[in-house]
Chain A
Amino acid sequence: MRYPKSYDVIIVGGGHAGIEASLINARLGMNTLLLTIALDSIGQMSCNPAIGGLAKGHLVKEVDILGGEMARNIDETGLQFKILNRSKGPAVWSSRAQADMTAYRLRMKYTLEHQKNLDIKQEMVDEILVENNEVRGVRTNLGNEYYSKAVVITTGTFMKGKIFIGLNTYSAGRAWEPPSEKLSDSLRKLGLKVSRLKTGTTPRLDARTIDFDALIPQPGDDEPIPFSFRTKELNRPNIPCYLTYTNEKTHEVILKNLDQSPLYSGIVESVGPRYCPSIEDKVVKFFEKKQHQIFLEPQDEKSTEIYADGLHTSMSYEVQLNFLRTIKGLEKVEIMRPGYAIEYDFVDPTQLKQSLETKKIRGLFLAGQINGTSGYEEAASQGIIAGINAAFYLLGKEPFILGRDEAYTGVLIDDLVTKGTKEPYRMFTSRAEYRLILREDNTHLRLAEKSFRAGLLSRDEYEMIMEQRRKIEEVIKRLKTTFIFPTEETNKKLKMLGTEIIKTKTDLAKLLRRTELNYDKLRELHPELEELDKFIKQEVEIDIKYEGYLTMQKQQIEKFKKYENLKIPEDFDYTKVGGLSNEVRGKLMEIKPTSIGQAMRISGVTPAAISILMVYLKKHNDRFKNSA
């Protein structure tokens, strides 16, 4: 049937990408439909029961300031909160929280259900409807045709999903849920290049059969910090994880049974993530390591299911049980669900624009694992960008794009559409060149302006953030212009604070740069300084203590922007540029970089090719000339 109601935007899939895409469209006033294979799995955490982590915490906070839900949801359903890398500098602090995955999922479902402008239906999408390279809607397994002006596909691992446990395989989108067998064929027919990727998960263990007393507890922080800038107070428990290790016996069991592994017996040929190797991979590739860490994480406050982080595996059930029982604390363990590997279809992301719209089909957007990424946070950040851009496409606005110098989300998407990926792509802080500026703590400060202008942030929230920024600048200025003098009394106080005395007139900012001093200690020295809110204090300290490096990073960004601002017109004809090798020309025509900067990041595009391109553009393009 042709469904009587038509929509502005249809979202295919109710995972972490689909949720953000649905909510932001509905919140921007679009008439939105979310179609999912299983209503009960909306917001399901398919792998580890945690949100955030290194570089991922940044993504969650970016989603938050852009009007997303992930941060608020974990703030309401976390089981412990922790700032990772606390011992290192603020640029690499990252928030991570264990989630009550059932509570997480249900709160997401309720949030969607109570969202205005959003319909939710349980149907499987088999086909994308397209006319004249423009999306028209979708057709589902029930024969329903839904019409819309834009479609966002977020299928996760469901397209032609195939699960491997030992030498057994079966078709599934996730553990025991049905896969989507037809949709990727529809995408192929539309001319999109579709390939296979692989990922895996760990066995879930029964807490009643684990000897926790023998293990090292890993609680969260005593003073948890929320993910969302909107959350004023966290009222959540602090439930520990437990640390244990594999040993030589574990490794022996695995090595003896490699013929039971679909990875090593040649059944699975697609590429898995290097950063998230299976335990069999770790044992084989790092043969010299005598032990590997295992974190046992609670999945749910009330359930006895335990997630065994560090033990991704697709060995047979028997081998899984045997190696698990060699591990300290797990001697009598019972498996509730085995670990498995899953292979699925993904769309080569170089076929996307920076807006996550496909280059081939107007109005068709892709987000999440379908683009070759891995991780809930990576999915959510693409979901919100694809969602915003679907809405902007309908509203006739310029695409909403974050640069590599603005957000981790910008780095993620630029990497995907520029370089593509050969393995499931995960965010790392090292992928972000300018991470000293793109910190987690300043996420809302750095993105408020852009978010507000795009209509993603309310005026009140925006004013509140601007006020914080003003305050920070004001305090910094005061510290830089307040001087103290080497009087006997001052130097006595300095000695008491455990720091060197001064010999000449010195401003307070200079003193604050000393490792052993902080803002509160300066107040002891100079009581006229006002008391500050914890967050403002932290930002002032970071800005002053790291000033030299921040300046250096700003210079690096200037250099980067110079090339980013050399725009290449969308209709640029590379066949007219002499001197490019066929390989380079082919790549440029495929990726269609929007700037020289992006062109430079395409693998295989040599510096020589870039100079030829620049010479040509300068010669033939006035717009380029003016921007250069």
Chain B
Amino acid sequence: MQKHDDDIIAAIASGQVEAAIGVIRVSGKGSLSLLEKVFSKKPPYEHRKIYYGFIKDKFGDVIDEVLVNIHKAPKSYTGEDLFEINAHGGLVCMNKILERLFEVGARLAEPGEFTKRAFLNGKLDLSQAEAVAKVISAKTERALKVAERQLQGQFRSTLDDIRDKILFLMAENEVRIDHPEEDLSSITQAERLKMVSEIKENLKKIYRAAKYGNNLFNGMVLTIVGKPNVGKSSLLNLIVGQESAIVTDIPGTTRDIVKESFSIKGIPFSILDTAGIRKTEDVVEKIGVERSLRAIDRADIVLAVFDSSSELSDEDLQIIEKLKKINSEVVAVINKSDLGQKIELSKIPFKHKVQISCKTGMGLKQLEDKLESIALKGFSDRELISLNASQMESLKKAIEMCEQLEQDIDNDIDPALIGVDFLSLTDYLDEVIGRITNEDMLEVMFKNFCIGK
């Protein structure tokens, strides 16, 4: 179906989770006359009022008892006529209401489409829309808090510092070019280099904070490997079962892409090939380690499970050899530690090792701490930020440009060429620290240097 920006769109706004009350949001020109067709309470509907009634199917039978609140254009979130149905019947019932809305002319909203409309109708500017999208996509409470803090501009002071230094250095460089006849007591080369290096370090700090911040937002992919019967399935149940799991079954053609999502300490994780792990363990198949290793290429963290109560087998060694070659982080999970320790830990070459008993639950906390420290690298929530992929790419290029600048200043090359470096640097940082214009630079120049005849 052709999708248009003036269609009436509808979606479950409260998420695909079982909850006491669910909300269905409907927006678009003419949406209120659509409501009239399905709602027992007939118009007039007034802005910001809540109406009680029933949603009925096409035969007039009640689907659910609901409250509907009305927001009229342009004073709604999207800037269009909008209403929200608060139903309490659970997912099945919610989906029935949704289907009923489709029957009378609405279509399913695409992800983020309400926000997109708000943006298109001038209710949000792009940066707000981005921030809102971030808040919406935050999968956990913890990520939400970090996103909100960023909205309030907590890392502003670092950015301001970077911006001030760049402006000063640019102005200083320009003075050399445009006012060569002036005997300006400029700063020394060493001081310039120091400032560039400070800019670079700050950019790197932001980059790292965003890199690990993005782990908090986008989550990390785990996989569990190990020989048959080592306890992969029990480990899976232990970590997934511990939290109230958000289960997303993505139907696919092979069970390989079945994954389970959950969070540990507010960090979203998903485990690949859970079906495979469960099944092989259940039937004690002798498929060997091949299948167990299948998902490692797609994982950020590999949990390699070993049996504490026996010595390392050939299969274990085979797995270790394979894992030594990959880039992902590997955590050796030494299971069955309640059955004593025959395993030689020194033969397992991985930095991260956790002893655990899936049976008693002992060691689970240490495993969770380990996963948190790998995901967030010790950054506190206050330090973490979230940037999108293009911003990350720009930051990376800006850091490289700082290195170029250091080299060029060190070689004392032509200031006009250093000017080209600065232009590229500010181009890259446009999105991150805001546009630097020639006027901004001149402002700083006239303030700091006595120039002009």
| Chain A interfacial positions (CB closer than 8 Å to B) | 48, 54-55, 84-85, 87-89, 91-92, 273-277, 282, 285-286, 289, 292-293, 295, 309-310, 312, 419, 428-431, 433, 435-436, 546, 549, 552-553, 556, 559, 577-580, 601, 603, 606-609, 611-612, 615, 619
Can you list 17 A-B contacts (CB < 8 A)? A48-B453, A84-B180, A85-B177, A88-B176, A88-B414, A89-B415, A275-B452, A430-B177, A430-B445, A431-B438, A431-B442, A433-B438, A578-B79, A579-B125, A608-B127, A611-B126, A612-B120
Given contacts A89-B414, A553-B423, A579-B124, 18 further A-B contacts (CB under 8 A): A48-B453, A85-B177, A89-B415, A89-B416, A274-B452, A275-B452, A277-B452, A282-B452, A292-B450, A295-B453, A546-B417, A553-B420, A556-B423, A559-B427, A606-B125, A608-B126, A611-B126, A612-B119
Per the bound structure, the CA–CA distance linking A84 and B5 in Å amounts to 59
Per the bound structure, the CA–CA distance linking A603 and B440 in Å amounts to 11
| Per-position binary interface string of chain B over residues 434-453, scored 1 when its CB falls under 8 Å from any chain A CB and 0 otherwise | 01011101100110001111
Contacts of B126 in A (CB 8 A): 607-608, 611-612
Q: Is the CB of A92 within 8 A of B437?
A: no
* 5 pairs of A and B residues whose beta carbons are closest in the complex: A579-B122, A89-B414, A608-B125, A578-B122, A91-B416
CB of B382 to closest CB in A, whole Å: 27
| Per-position binary interface string of chain B over residues 103-118, scored 1 when its CB falls under 8 Å from any chain A CB and 0 otherwise | 0000000000000000
Contacts of B179 in A (CB 8 A): 54
User: Is B123's CB within 8 Å of the partner chain A?
Assistant: yes
Interface residues of B in 154-180 (CB under 8 A from A): 174, 176-180
Per the bound structure, the CA–CA distance linking A276 and B451 in Å amounts to 7
Q: Is the CB of B416 within 8 A of A286?
A: no
Q: Is the CB of B416 within 8 A of A435?
A: yes
Q: Is the CB of B438 within 8 A of A310?
A: no
Q: Is the CB of A88 within 8 A of B416?
A: yes
Contacts of B452 in A (CB 8 A): 273-277, 282
Per the bound structure, the CA–CA distance linking A405 and B389 in Å amounts to 30
Contacts of B124 in A (CB 8 A): 579
User: Is B182's CB within 8 Å of the partner chain A?
Assistant: yes
Contact status of A85 and B453, CB under 8 A, knowing A435-B419, A556-B424, A578-B120: no
Contacts of B182 in A (CB 8 A): 293
User: Is B183's CB within 8 Å of the partner chain A?
Assistant: yes
Contacts of B439 in A (CB 8 A): 419, 603
Contacts of B438 in A (CB 8 A): 430-431, 433
Q: Is the CB of B415 within 8 A of A92?
A: yes
Q: Is the CB of A293 within 8 A of B419?
A: no
CB of A612 to closest CB in B, whole Å: 7
Of A293, A436, A559, A609, which is within 8 A of B125 by CB?
A: A609
Per the bound structure, the CA–CA distance linking A92 and B420 in Å amounts to 12
Q: Is the CB of B437 within 8 A of A612?
A: no
Q: Is the CB of A430 within 8 A of B122?
A: no
Of A92, A282, A579, A615, which is within 8 A of B416 by CB?
A: A92
Tell me the nearest residue of chain A to B404, going by C-beta. Answer: A552
Of B120, B128, B181, which is within 8 A of A293 by CB?
A: B181
Q: Is the CB of A430 within 8 A of B441?
A: yes
Contacts of B445 in A (CB 8 A): 430
Contacts of A429 in B (CB 8 A): 174, 177-178, 416
Per the bound structure, the CA–CA distance linking A609 and B435 in Å amounts to 14
User: Is B186's CB within 8 Å of the partner chain A?
Assistant: no
User: Is B121's CB within 8 Å of the partner chain A?
Assistant: yes
| Per-position binary interface string of chain B over residues 193-217, scored 1 when its CB falls under 8 Å from any chain A CB and 0 otherwise | 0000000000000000000000000
Q: Is the CB of A428 within 8 A of B416?
A: no
| Chain B interfacial positions (CB closer than 8 Å to A) | 5, 79, 119-128, 174, 176-183, 413-417, 419-420, 423-424, 427, 430, 435, 437-439, 441-442, 445-446, 450-453
CB of B234 to closest CB in A, whole Å: 51
Of A84, A289, A579, which is within 8 A of B450 by CB?
A: A289
Q: Is the CB of A88 within 8 A of B446?
A: no
Per the bound structure, the CA–CA distance linking A580 and B419 in Å amounts to 34
CB of A469 to closest CB in B, whole Å: 22
Tell me the nearest residue of chain A to B417, going by C-beta. Answer: A549
Contacts of A275 in B (CB 8 A): 446, 451-452
Contacts of A55 in B (CB 8 A): 178
Contact status of A310 and B174, CB under 8 A, knowing A607-B126, A609-B125, A612-B119: no
Of A286, A295, A430, A606, which is within 8 A of B178 by CB?
A: A430
Q: Is the CB of A579 within 8 A of B177?
A: no
Q: Is the CB of B450 within 8 A of A286?
A: yes
CB of B134 to closest CB in A, whole Å: 16
Per the bound structure, the CA–CA distance linking A560 and B208 in Å amounts to 30
Contacts of B423 in A (CB 8 A): 433, 553, 556
Of B120, B127, B183, B420, which is within 8 A of A436 by CB?
A: B420
Q: Is the CB of A309 within 8 A of B453?
A: yes
Contact status of A293 and B183, CB under 8 A, knowing A54-B177, A85-B177: yes
Contacts of A608 in B (CB 8 A): 125-128
Q: Is the CB of A579 within 8 A of B119?
A: yes
Per the bound structure, the CA–CA distance linking A275 and B174 in Å amounts to 13
Per the bound structure, the CA–CA distance linking A430 and B183 in Å amounts to 19
Contacts of A430 in B (CB 8 A): 174, 177-178, 419, 438, 441-442, 445
CB of B87 to closest CB in A, whole Å: 32
Q: Is the CB of B120 within 8 A of A310?
A: no
Tell me the nearest residue of chain A to B183, going by C-beta. Answer: A293
Q: Is the CB of B177 within 8 A of A92?
A: yes
Tell me the nearest residue of chain A to B79, going by C-beta. Answer: A578
Q: Is the CB of B123 within 8 A of A579?
A: yes
Tell me the nearest residue of chain B to A202, going by C-beta. Answer: B453
Contacts of B416 in A (CB 8 A): 88-89, 91-92, 429, 435-436
Q: Is the CB of A552 within 8 A of B424?
A: yes
Contacts of B119 in A (CB 8 A): 579, 612, 615
CB of B230 to closest CB in A, whole Å: 53
Per the bound structure, the CA–CA distance linking A309 and B415 in Å amounts to 26
Contacts of A295 in B (CB 8 A): 181, 453
Tell me the nearest residue of chain A to B414, going by C-beta. Answer: A89
CB of B81 to closest CB in A, whole Å: 15
CB of A491 to closest CB in B, whole Å: 25
Per the bound structure, the CA–CA distance linking A310 and B453 in Å amounts to 4
Tell me the nearest residue of chain A to B129, going by C-beta. Answer: A608
Which of B180, B413, B442 is the most central at the interface, judged by chain A CB atoms within 10 Å of its CB? B180
Tell me the nearest residue of chain B to A84, going by C-beta. Answer: B180
Per the bound structure, the CA–CA distance linking A578 and B124 in Å amounts to 10
Tell me the nearest residue of chain B to A580, going by C-beta. Answer: B122
Contacts of A607 in B (CB 8 A): 126-127, 430, 435
Per the bound structure, the CA–CA distance linking A91 and B413 in Å amounts to 13
Contact status of A552 and B453, CB under 8 A, knowing A84-B181, A429-B177: no
Tell me the nearest residue of chain A to B430, going by C-beta. Answer: A607
CB of A548 to closest CB in B, whole Å: 9
Of B176, B414, B446, which is within 8 A of A91 by CB?
A: B414
Per the bound structure, the CA–CA distance linking A579 and B124 in Å amounts to 7
CB of B453 to closest CB in A, whole Å: 4
Per the bound structure, the CA–CA distance linking A611 and B446 in Å amounts to 32
Q: Is the CB of A274 within 8 A of B446?
A: yes
Per the bound structure, the CA–CA distance linking A430 and B437 in Å amounts to 11
CB of A27 to closest CB in B, whole Å: 33
Contacts of A89 in B (CB 8 A): 413-417
Per the bound structure, the CA–CA distance linking A553 and B450 in Å amounts to 30
Per the bound structure, the CA–CA distance linking A557 and B355 in Å amounts to 58
Contact status of A615 and B120, CB under 8 A, knowing A276-B452, A293-B181: yes
Per the bound structure, the CA–CA distance linking A405 and B314 in Å amounts to 67
Contacts of B125 in A (CB 8 A): 579, 606, 608-609, 611-612
Per the bound structure, the CA–CA distance linking A85 and B180 in Å amounts to 7
Contacts of A556 in B (CB 8 A): 420, 423-424, 427
Per the bound structure, the CA–CA distance linking A579 and B121 in Å amounts to 6
Contacts of A92 in B (CB 8 A): 177-178, 414-416
Which of B174, B427, B450 is the most central at the interface, judged by chain A CB atoms within 10 Å of its CB? B450
Which of B125, B183, B435 is the most central at the interface, judged by chain A CB atoms within 10 Å of its CB? B125
CB of A289 to closest CB in B, whole Å: 6
